[in-house]
A and B are shown apart, each in its own frame.
Chain A
Amino acid sequence: GAVVSQHPSRVICKSGTSVKIECRSLDFQATTMFWYRQFPKQSLMLMATSNEGSKATYEQGVEKDKFLINHASLTLSTLTVTSAHPEDSSFYICSAIRTDGTDTQYFGPGTRLTVL
């Protein structure tokens, strides 16, 4: 199978601090990873596309200076929420594409961020 991990699974921080979330593809290489945000009882909202070795592509309305994405290797992408505020509290989920011809996205387990 295709395994994607995320760390941490849950984080609580104070308003104004920065939080880094890691997304790793454990048994395959991923040139492309995606970051999503999901609020309660809503569907997944794509935030950005993370491309290994190049700048991330952000969706309309997502502040790139607030949500910093780094995809430094074929197995790791990080999302840093800078100067977090309570409205940033959400479930953040990454996915990675397994380039096996199907281009299927496999999701990490998610990170629940609570900003106090």
Chain B
Amino acid sequence: QKEVEQNSGPLSVPEGAIASLNCTYSDRGSQSFFWYRQYSGKSPELIMFIYSNGDKEDGRFTAQLNKASQYVSLLIRDSQPSDSATYLCAVNVPPGNTGKLIFGQGTTLQVKP
């Protein structure tokens, strides 16, 4: 069974610190990886996607992908209280390019002022 695993948390960091969120996936055929942020009672919003091994930076966010280890992470620098939310890791379902995703259960991040 295809799976995406995340630590549910909560992960608590002080304001200004780096938050590190981790995700592992089971299907080696997966090629597309996404991070979404979901505030309580709201729908997910895309933070970033990554396809290639290595790092991808966008503002305060950096996604890291290691396909050999089947591991994808999200770093949030200079964490702000407004970053407090649930972060969902999503991985495409191979084969083919159907756009279908499997979501992890999400990691709750708490940024304390």
Contacts and interface: CB of A to CB of B under 8 A. Distances in A.
A97 B46 CA distance: 12
Contacts of A43: 88, 103-106
Interface of A: 32, 34, 42-44, 46, 49, 93, 97, 102-110
Nearest to A30: B99
Given A44-B44, A44-B88, A110-B43, A103 B99 contact: yes
Contacts of A108: 43
Contact of B46 (A34, A44, A49, A104): A104
A32 B93 CA distance: 15
Interface of B: 32, 34, 36, 42-46, 49, 88, 90, 92, 97-106
A64 B7 CA distance: 33
A107 B104 contact: no
Contacts, number: 47
A67 B93 CA distance: 23
Given A108-B43, A109-B43, A49 B106 contact: no
Nearest to B34: A104
B105 A105 contact: no
A46 B44 CA distance: 14
Contacts of B101: 34, 46, 105
Contacts of A34: 99-101
B44 A107 contact: yes
Nearest to A33: B99
A105 B98 contact: no
Contacts of A107: 36, 43-46
B45 A44 contact: no
9 contacts: A46-B102, A49-B98, A49-B100, A93-B43, A102-B49, A103-B32, A103-B99, A107-B46, A109-B43
Contact of B42 (A42, A97, A106, A110): A110
A42, A43, A103 — most chain B CB neighbours (10 Å): A43
